[in-house]
Homo-oligomer: A and B are copies of this chain.
Amino acid sequence: MAKKWVYFFGAGKADGSAQMRDLLGGKGANLAEMTRIGLPVPPGFTITTEVCATYVRRKKSYPKELLPQVKEAIARLESMTGKRFGDVRNPLLVSVRSGARESMPGMMDTILNLGLNDQTVQALARRSGNPRFAWDSYRRFIQMYGDVVMGVQAEGRDAHEPFEEILGALKREARVERDTDLTEGNLAELVARYKQLIKRRTGPRAVEFPQDPRKQLWGAIGAVFESWNNDRAIVYRRKYNIPHEWGTAVNVQTMVFGNLGDTSGTGVAFTRDPATGRKEFYGEYLINAQGEDVVSGVRTPTPIADLRRQIPKAHAELERVRRLLERHFKEMQDFEFTIEDNKVYMLQTRTAKRTGLAAVRIAVDMVEEKLIDWKKAVARVPADSLSHLLAPVFDRKDRQEAEGAGRLLCRGLAAGPGAASGKVVFNAEDAASMANRGERVLLVRIETTPEDLRGMIAAEGILTARGGVSSHAALVARQMGKVCVCGAQDLHIDVGERLMRVKGHTVREGESISIDGTSGEVFLGSVKTAPSEVVQVLIHKTLDPKRSDTYRQFTTLMGWADRLRRLKVRTNADQPDQAANAIAFGAEGIGLCRTEHMFFGGDRIDAVREMILAETGEARRKALEKLLPYQREDFVGIFRVMKGLPVTIRTLDPPLHEFLPNDGEVMRELAEKLKIPYQKIAARVAQLHEANPMLGHRGCRLGVSYPEITQMQARAIFEAAAQVRKEGIRVHPEIMIPLVGFPTELKLQLEIIHRMAAEVQARTRQKVEYTVGTMIEIPRAALVADQIAADAEFFSFGTNDLTQTVLGMSRDDSGSFLPTYLEHEIIRTNPFASVDQTGVGKLMKLAVEGGRSVRPNLKVGICGEHGGDPSSVEFCHQLDLDYVSCSPFRVPVARLAAAQAALKEKNA
């Protein structure tokens, strides 16, 4: 039997189902599923993703069985609807849409009203009794088809421009404001002009717009498959790690019309509020419009609640659909519908994107509603999205002042919660390049399109003048966790002049504004931000936990996560306040306390510099004596806060030149202060200069060269520990030696530490439990982990440096080629953000195995930046590490990611 390439759905029955999303794409699978559960879905068929893969592989040719299978499906459609392709009395019209395995909103091209031509448009006019509608449909079809299939596009930044230009001109000629005011005659004229444009713009071949519906169909199918490899789709897949080989399906579906008049319309709805997660019917619609009008943001739609008044029957049906969808899918859905003459048709449903705030609320609520169990709730919240709950909002007082000062420019739709300030930029490229230079920017656009993606990624927030809460800007911003205000209609943007006018104010590119994606407010200038509810409760204690739903949901979810996870979560903190924050977020210890951060500030840096400039061990020891009390006090503060939780303290790591000034003026001041000749300082600075400081005289190499440094640090740790113990507080320091590559390095440092421990304990008569371990941050350490574990009581992966050395790639210098590497898919994700599991990870595995072969209960953790990255946390779980350590605000993310890793393992 020939392979099945085409899956039919219609009249309550379907070849496919929701389980077949790999084959049918998300849209196709759910159209089939909706058909099966009795929802009103216009009949149609899906061409599988396998065809796309074949099409790409075979350089644009189809499997030979496809043609007859499509033919047969069309025949079934014709018989089911009683319409026929190209029939001059009752023509069949279809939409052709893409649909990949993972939703890629706005990424792919869509064609509506396919089947219309100079004959069938007349039939449609007759049958609908609405010639204006027929001609409007025809001109829309030609516009989409011309753009997507025939490649008639603007060369510049704004797509659709040539067709829009003709439309605009005609509107001016007809002296009308809105598209809907164009008459049937106007539209017929538009069709003629569009066809001329196509002929003119298809080069010397001067191709005519095709009149044969079958030819139209195959053109559209090919264009969808082509669109899989357009630039914006590739950028999107790269950002979301969607494999290029998956391919898209093509959905061909009988047209229904939202533009048949005032009892017709089209809309997008969410079963809950995707911004807040509240259980409220949420969405918007346009009367007398086709679907693309809503999503593209060209017209600003009406909130769904108004539909109850406008078309009550349709509203009631949609409420029924909403309940049915959630009961069936047990997930928040985002669905598209069309109302054709009071009757609702479902065009799509899918799991809805949501903000982090919404994700947490919905997961917790659905458990309470008994829709899902608590483990599913844990699995469902993307760990990264927790950071939205900790993101800042506007400071109330500063916001009030800004409003009082008349700086509240306008309001738009609250589309991506959080608050952000930044410099206004009016196009995506500039936003990306300014952000690259370290500026905080807000991308301001009339509306966004997929071409703006890079700029949106780079910006702190997004503000649009047009488009609703389900516009491209809103959808993408919510998914990325960006602050977003959209549809701020008072904005008048002049992209050419690089400015916008808002109620008499003119804001030029580079000036600062502030937006609140929770309230929709837009302010002139910067407005101070304030902590989120969760942060107010946990860190600032300025909010009563009972008064915060968000906090309650957050702790509920975290509690479930903690029941599941095996990995401990620690934090990287150098100061008592950071440590306290991390504990509030659930940290179970400090995984990395960098002692060098304590070396800066005030008199300390002078003593540090004196130490570096010392020429004898004696002089060095004298300078170190001055540092000792500071270091001790730092540790006392941290030990007190940590109350017996483990504190991993790393001995001095950076190369000494980092502590010396490079600037001549500062060197001169230092010379005067320390009463040392300037030349001597300059000479020492020059002497300490390194060709590759990352691979230079740093880490334990310093402690080996200058054992008195390690000695001072060890003494400070043990004296601090003794002092805090005397106060009745338990203390558990874990001393960590950085950059170890050779077992003897560790031995030499160990000896100093044990000697100081013994000395301080004897002197203070306080017994301190401590361990000494090592970072694994250069490949050699991983390779000889068995030898190192003979002495090391714990390992901690320093994946920042390990990544740099394993990849032979300096993080600071990789900016010049990493973008190219991501573009060419040499790497899938930035290895400094997410552990390179194939390379670095293999070495980590060797290190864990090597270490535990000698010391089976060896404690192993990770303290690089990767400790707060969910996929890296999952990898650490798989490696059977004991803990991950990350910055305080990433602790909840790591807790949830650890729980999800455990869950995934159990389910595997």
CB within 8 Å of B: which residues of A?
Answer: 690-697, 701, 704-705, 739, 741-742, 744-745, 748, 777-780, 783-784, 787, 801, 804-810, 812-814, 816-817, 820-821, 824-827, 836, 838-840, 842-843
Q: Among B739, B745, B814, point to the contact of A826 (Cβ < 8 A).
A: B745
For the complex, give the distance between the alpha carbons of A787 and B824 in Å: 17
A779 lies within 8 A of B839 (CB)? yes
Q: Among B745, B808, B840, point to the contact of A801 (Cβ < 8 A).
A: B808
Interface hub of A690, A739, A780, A821 (most chain B Cβ within 10 A): A780
List the B side residues contacting A814 at CB < 8 Å: 696
List the B side residues contacting A838 at CB < 8 Å: 783-784, 787
A813 lies within 8 A of B691 (CB)? yes
Interface hub of A805, A813, A840 (most chain B Cβ within 10 A): A813
Q: Among B705, B813, B821, B843, point to the contact of A779 (Cβ < 8 A).
A: B843
List the B side residues contacting A691 at CB < 8 Å: 693-694, 810, 812-813
For the complex, give the distance between the alpha carbons of A742 and B822 in Å: 12
Distance between A789 CB and nearest chain B CB, rounded to angstroms: 15
For the complex, give the distance between the alpha carbons of A826 and B784 in Å: 14
For the complex, give the distance between the alpha carbons of A809 and B694 in Å: 8
B836 lies within 8 A of A780 (CB)? yes
List the B side residues contacting A809 at CB < 8 Å: 695, 741
Contact A807:B820 (CB < 8 A) given known A826-B748, A839-B784: no
A741 lies within 8 A of B692 (CB)? no
Distance between A562 CB and nearest chain B CB, rounded to angstroms: 35
If A744-B824, A744-B825, A783-B806 are given as contacts, then 13 extra A-B residue pairs at C-beta distance below 8 Å, sorted by A number, are: A690-B813, A691-B810, A692-B804, A693-B813, A695-B695, A695-B808, A696-B816, A704-B824, A704-B826, A778-B807, A783-B842, A784-B842, A801-B808
List the B side residues contacting A808 at CB < 8 Å: 694-695, 739, 741, 777-780, 801, 805
List the B side residues contacting A813 at CB < 8 Å: 690-693, 695-697
For the complex, give the distance between the alpha carbons of A705 and B817 in Å: 7
Closest 6 CB pairs of A and B: A778-B808, A695-B810, A780-B839, A692-B810, A696-B813, A691-B812
Residue of B nearest to A746 (CB): B826
Residue of B nearest to A696 (CB): B813
List the B side residues contacting A777 at CB < 8 Å: 808
For the complex, give the distance between the alpha carbons of A714 and B692 in Å: 31
List the B side residues contacting A839 at CB < 8 Å: 741, 779-780, 783-784
B692 lies within 8 A of A812 (CB)? yes
For the complex, give the distance between the alpha carbons of A813 and B689 in Å: 9
How many protomers of this protein does the assembly include?
A: 2
For the complex, give the distance between the alpha carbons of A814 and B695 in Å: 8
Interface hub of A742, A748, A804, A814 (most chain B Cβ within 10 A): A742
B806 lies within 8 A of A778 (CB)? yes
Distance between A674 CB and nearest chain B CB, rounded to angstroms: 22
Contact A694:B695 (CB < 8 A) given known A779-B839, A806-B779, A839-B779: yes
List the B side residues contacting A824 at CB < 8 Å: 704, 744, 748
List the B side residues contacting A810 at CB < 8 Å: 690-692, 694-696
Would you list 30 pairs from A and B whose C-beta atoms are within 8 A, ordered by A residue?
A690-B810, A691-B694, A691-B810, A691-B812, A691-B813, A692-B694, A692-B804, A692-B813, A694-B695, A694-B808, A695-B695, A695-B805, A695-B808, A696-B813, A696-B814, A704-B817, A704-B821, A705-B816, A741-B809, A741-B839, A744-B826, A779-B779, A779-B843, A780-B808, A780-B836, A780-B840, A783-B838, A783-B842, A783-B843, A805-B808
List the B side residues contacting A826 at CB < 8 Å: 704, 742, 744-745, 748
Q: Among B692, B701, B705, B778, point to the contact of A695 (Cβ < 8 A).
A: B692
Distance between A37 CB and nearest chain B CB, rounded to angstroms: 44
Interface hub of A701, A817, A838 (most chain B Cβ within 10 A): A701
For the complex, give the distance between the alpha carbons of A691 and B777 in Å: 19
Interface hub of A693, A804, A805, A817 (most chain B Cβ within 10 A): A805
B816 lies within 8 A of A697 (CB)? yes
For the complex, give the distance between the alpha carbons of A176 and B826 in Å: 85
Q: Among B801, B805, B817, B827, point to the contact of A697 (Cβ < 8 A).
A: B817
For the complex, give the distance between the alpha carbons of A742 and B807 in Å: 9
For the complex, give the distance between the alpha carbons of A692 and B810 in Å: 6
List the B side residues contacting A807 at CB < 8 Å: 741, 778-780
Distance between A845 CB and nearest chain B CB, rounded to angstroms: 10
Distance between A778 CB and nearest chain B CB, rounded to angstroms: 3
For the complex, give the distance between the alpha carbons of A810 and B693 in Å: 8
For the complex, give the distance between the alpha carbons of A704 and B779 in Å: 26
Distance between A129 CB and nearest chain B CB, rounded to angstroms: 59
List the B side residues contacting A787 at CB < 8 Å: 838
